[in-house]
Structures are given as C-alpha cells and as structure tokens.
Amino acid sequence: MQAVSQAVPVNTFKRALIAGTPQIGLWSVLPSPYISELVAGCGFDWVLLDTEHTPTDVPQMLQQLQAVAGAIPFEGGQASAAVVRPAWNDLVLIKRYLDIGAQTLLLPFVQNADEARAAVRAIRYAPEGVRGMGGSVRASNFGRIKDYIQTANEELCLLVQVETRDALEQLDAIANVDGIDGVFIGPADLSASMGHPGNPNHPEVRAAIDRAIDCIRACGKAAGILVVDETWARECIDRGALFVAVGVDLLILARGAEAMAARFKSTAAASVTSNY
C-alpha cells in the first residue's frame, strides 16, 4: 500500500490574520488538558495557552495541545486555534514548543527590533535561522510530513508582546521586522511601566494603547490585546485590533463561582431573618 503524502497542517489563525478577519480569543491559564479541551470547544477563534504565569512546562503543554486538537467544537463550528506563550523569548524554549507542534507563538517582553529579529531566527531553520533540526518530531507528524523542514515556515505564526514604555518607543521598528506576524499589547505590564500599576484604564495608558494599535496597523501587521472589559474590547476591535482576547478562564471560574455563592448565601440569610 502506497503511503499518502502528508502536508503541514494549515494554520487557520495565521490565515485569518492575513485576511484581516478579527479573531476573538480566550486567555487560558488553568494548566490542565481537561480545561484546554473544554475551552477549545467553546466557540472562540483562538485560545492562549500560557506558560509565562502558570506552572505549565513543555510535557504539560504537549498534553494541552493534544487536548485542543481533539476538542469537539460548539454548535458545529470550528475548534479554537492554539496560541502558545513561552515563558520567555528564548531560542531553546521556542524550539521545544515548535517541536511538540505549536504553530503560533506569543513571545513576551520583546523590547526592540533586535529581540524581534532573534525571535524570527529562532523559529526558522538554517540558513535563515537557528532552529535546531529535531528529526522526527511531533510537529512533522513524527517524520511523516516529508517536506516539513522546507514548508513549516508557511504555517508558523510569530506574535511578539510589547508591554513597556521603552518597547512602545521602539514599536515601529519592532513591527516592521520581517517575519513578525503580529504585535500584542500587554495592558497590565504597560500600565505598571507607565507609572499606573493595576490601572490599565488610566487615560494615559488607554491613549498609548490606541496609538500602538494604529502604529501596528500602519506597519501592515496584526494588532492584539487582552481586554476583559467588554466595552473596551469592542472599541479595540473597532479600532482595528485583529486578535483580541476577551476573557480569562481562571477569572470566569473564580468570579462566576463567587457570584453564585454570594447569591445563595444572601438568599439563605434573608430566609433566616424572615423566620424571626
């Protein structure tokens, strides 16, 4: 029996950004394949699988990627695309996440064009880059995709995170680096860097974010952000941000559970009071 030729999986998230189609996402920080499968089937276009601020490591992320790939989409739609955030813009971490099958990476704390160019080189094989040859890795379906090395770059999507005042000053140079597909603005860290920790809604921060989105778009790249306030999230989308995360799984669980507990406890307290 002749083997069927296999190709690198299509990166639907990257294709959507190229087409200018807004992608609505969910930020996932709960390090469990069970959770990853659940949220990937909820109907979001993409789900961010975080390792920067979670205890997730490479073996755990492998299981989360497998869970996302196996998710059954909600109401007949399409399961979410996985976006993996390594803990740092580090070529060893980047190599390991690519080898286990991540196709879209969001790299934190990129401060200048040199760091952006280093990220591009980290995802590419020589001679264009420095990604190590891993042999029959999961990304190549264990060697079954015969031309993986030659075609992988077409379906890899590289996003870099700009989250300080200094980085904003370098934004135009960062966004214009060839090989960068999108730039993500981190409101929380940016607000702290601008002297307003814990207050991303400060007018100075909001104005800086608006200018950043405009700059990224002018450079021909996709702009992204995480905003859990629905009104603000819609404003970012209207301004032209293409990949917008509108919620965090941990916050949905925690605040939802707290609200439910509060409702029932207040009802119970009222019932006790009415009996006296």
Q: What share of the chain is helix, strand, coil (3-state, %, to 5)?
A: 45, 15, 35
Q: What DSSP line would sit under 210-258, residue for residue?
A: HHHHHHHHHTT-EEEEE--SHHHHHHHHHHT-SEEEEEEHHHHHHHHHH
Tell how many helices (H) and how many strands (E) occur in the chain. 12, 8
53 is catalytic: yes
The one catalytic residue in 15, 53, 211, 265 is: 53
Of 89, 97, 110, the residue nearest 56 (C-alpha)? 97
Backbone phi and psi for residue 79, each to the nearest 5 degrees, phi listed first: -65, 155
Query: Residue 124 corresponds to which amino acid?
Result: R
Please state, in angstroms and rounded to a whole number, the distance separating the CA atoms of residues 248 and 74: 18
Q: Can you name the residues that pair with 158 across neighbouring β-strands?
A: 105
The DSSP annotation for 88-145 comes to: SS-HHHHHHHHHTT--EEEES---SHHHHHHHHHHHSBTTT--B---SS-GGGTTTTS
What is the identity of the amino acid at 269? A
Catalytic residues: 53
